[in-house]
């Protein structure tokens, strides 16, 4: 039963990320080259996406914890994503060409509900199941990274032929993951059902009375939300390093695929690293790596050195994702795991994204990418230093036994 659940949810992760990558890994390139939007308009679209994501994340978190280990939410999300291809081709693209703001609102609603908020629901649900069936979450999540890598490799080539091919692949992958979750059987005990039913709205508000929860949110606002803003328009910057835009698109596809393959390998190793260092120290390590990557991106020149800086992401992200779950598990109530992750990590990150996306978009247009990356790196470094003094030092038990890769439980 345990292996069956692990393989099925790993496959679900794989096809979810294939679907997401097919329509979103080259999103900024599609907006710039196919829809012909500038940096400010692209920043506006990312900001609107973040607003809708922000609205949905607390709702998904509450519903997920209220459902406990039931799979209803993932079934619903998978059904919505089956229509990703037709939406991009027949609705989103034409609307953006007609009216950017109207297109941004309609697109933000679909993407926020379908991908950008649902990824947190998917991750927190599978992490919850990993604790129930005793398998390491990071190793299941590794298959998601592989799915993204495989699809991005082809997406960079397909966008030069016809971007719509990527969108149709997204719908096909969503159909497969819908069938996977539909046929996956997760046992729900009476104790688990009662535990899930005990979650109330009051529990959510009580989290905001905790000083340590606020310190964690500050860390997310100052550090983790920035890597999303950095990545938003990086494909445009990278593509500009080559003789032709088509060659740049193709090379970015290769780079992104290689990066995510490395990320998948690190997902396998990250649990041991986090268990050895502890969740708090691992969060700090990821933060300083991120600051180095962004600052370095503003200093180095040429596609090779820029690529090397981008590849640091492959090491920081797996450590960040695994340590976030372990930090929240070690320091807060486990029955609120989805709310903690979607509100404390995903929701807080989106607040930062809303505030930074349009501003950073204007900075790209005014100062260029290199200067903007320097500012982002300094910003992250500042908050990383603050986190040294504010993140809770209460997870030493993580390092007690790195011979097991079991997620820590309260």
Q: Chunked in runs of 10, what are the mean pLDDT values of the chain (410 residues)?
A: 87 96 88 85 85 88 89 94 95 93 95 91 91 85 88 85 94 97 89 80 84 89 81 81 82 82 85 89 93 91 90 89 86 82 79 77 85 91 93 58 34
pLDDT of residue 395: 54
- Asked, for residue 405, whether it belongs to a domain, the answer is no
Residue 268 belongs to some domain of the structure: yes
Quote the strand ranges of 54-213, DSSP E: none
At 206, which CATH number?
1.20.1250.20
Q: Return the pLDDT at 251.
A: 86
Judge whether 82 lies within some domain: yes
pLDDT given for residue 394 in this prediction: 63
pLDDT on residue 173: 97
Domain of residue 144 covers: 2-400
Which residue, chain included where needed, has tokens 């992401």?
A: 313
Domain membership of residue 322 (yes or no) is: yes
On whether residue 408 sits in a domain, the answer given is no
Instruction: Say what the pTM is.
Output: 0.78
Our CA dihedral for 365, 370, 376, 378, rounded to 10 degrees, sits at -140
**Number of domains observed in the structure of the chain:** 1
Assigned domain for 409 exists: no
> 175 Cβ partners below 8 Å, 6+ apart?
82
Query: Residue 410 falls within a domain, yes or no?
Result: no
Look at residue 103 in the predicted model and tell me its pLDDT.
94
Check residue 150 and give its pLDDT: 87
Rounded to a whole number of angstroms, the distance between the first and last alpha carbons of the chain is 24
Largest CA distance in the chain: 63
Residues 300 and 120: beta-carbon distance below 8 Å: no
Is residue 407 included in any domain, yes or no? no
Q: What is the model's pLDDT at position 409?
A: 33
pLDDT at 410 (0 to 100): 30
């Amino acid at each position: 039963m345990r292996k069956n659940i692990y393989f099925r949810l790993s496959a679900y992760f794989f096809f979810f990320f294939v679907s997401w990558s097919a329509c979103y890994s080259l999103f900024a390139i599609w907006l710039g080259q196919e829809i012909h939007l500038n940096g400010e308009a692209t920043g506006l679209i990312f900001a609107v996406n973040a607003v809708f994501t922000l609205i949905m994340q607390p709702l998904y978190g509450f519903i997920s914890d209220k459902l406990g280990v039931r799979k209803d939410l993932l079934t619903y999300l998978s059904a919505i994503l089956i229509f990703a291809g037709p939406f991009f081709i027949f609705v989103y693209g034409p609307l953006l060409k007609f009216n950017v703001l109207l297109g941004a609102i309609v697109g933000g609603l679909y993407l926020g509900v379908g991908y950008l908020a649902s990824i947190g629901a998917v991750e927190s649900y599978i992490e919850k199941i990993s604790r129930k069936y005793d398998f390491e979450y990071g190793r299941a999540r590794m298959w998601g990274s592989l799915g993204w890598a495989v699809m991005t490799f082809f997406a960079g080539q397909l966008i030069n032929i016809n971007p719509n091919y990527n969108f149709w692949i997204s719908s096909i992958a969503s159909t497969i993951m819908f069938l996977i979750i539909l046929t996956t059987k997760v046992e729900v005990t009476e104790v688990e059902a009662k535990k899930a039913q005990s979650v109330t709205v009051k529990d959510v508000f009580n989290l905001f009375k905790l000083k340590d929860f606020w310190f964690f949110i500050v860390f997310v606002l100052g550090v983790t939300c920035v890597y999303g803003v950095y990545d938003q328009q990086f494909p445009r910057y990278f593509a500009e390093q080559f003789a032709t835009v088509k060659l740049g698109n193709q090379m970015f596809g290769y780079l992104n695929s290689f990066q995510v393959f490395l990320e998948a390998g690190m997902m396998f190793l990250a649990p041991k690293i986090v268990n050895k260092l502890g969740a708090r120290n691992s969060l700090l390590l990821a933060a300083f790596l991120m600051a180095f990557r962004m600052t370095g991106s503003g200093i180095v020149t040429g596609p090779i050195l820029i690529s090397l800086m981008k590849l640091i992401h492959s090491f920081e992200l797996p450590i960040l994702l695994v340590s976030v779950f372990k930090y929240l598990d070690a320091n807060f109530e486990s029955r609120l795991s989805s709310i903690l992750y979607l509100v404390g990590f995903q929701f807080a990150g989106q607040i930062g994204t809303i505030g930074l996306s349009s501003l950073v978009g204007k900075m790209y247009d005014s100062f260029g990418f290199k200067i903007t990356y320097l500012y982002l790196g300094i910003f992250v470094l500042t908050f990383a230093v603050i986190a040294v003094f504010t993140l809770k030092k209460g997870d030493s038990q993580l390092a007690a036994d790195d011979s097991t890769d079991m997620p820590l439980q309260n």
